[in-house]
Amino acid sequence: MQKKGETEAAGASSAKKTAEYQPRQISLVVSRIDPWSVMKVSFLLSVALGIAMVLAGLLVWLLLNSMSVFSSVENFINDIDPTGSIASIIDYLRLPRVMAMSTIVAVSNVILMTAFSTVGALIYNLVTSLVGGIRLALIDE
């Protein structure tokens, strides 16, 4: 069993150790990025973004349809053009066409984002061979 004086001394010693602790600062340099890992990560992130884009297109279309925006636009076009020559524009606002367009945009985004990020990693590697990379200062807490 510890006495009162020993407990206070132990507490003071641990407080002293805590007060003496200073975080270390470490300097690192990012000198190379692996293009293969960048390609894999950017592909997965762009696929997730593409899925979100298609779902957002669906939700926006459903919201606008429930507010009868499309029927109002169709009535307006029929009022200004009774011959129906402009009415073919309404076909682009139907759900299957909207989903097809958003899917095409999402797939092209997946391809372009993956390619651009991989090329960006390759360009970064070339530039760092000339200038040395990006310096980071990390603190250990």
Of 11-25, 70-84, 88-102, 114-128, highest mean pLDDT: 114-128
Question: Per-residue pLDDT averaged across 20-26, rounded?
Answer: 81
Lowest mean pLDDT among 23-32, 103-112, 120-129: 23-32
**Region for residue 65 given its phi and psi (left: phi exceeds 0; alpha: psi -120 to 50; beta: otherwise):** alpha
- The answer to whether the predicted template modeling score (pTM) of the entire model surpasses 0.85 is no
d(CA 38, CA 15): 46
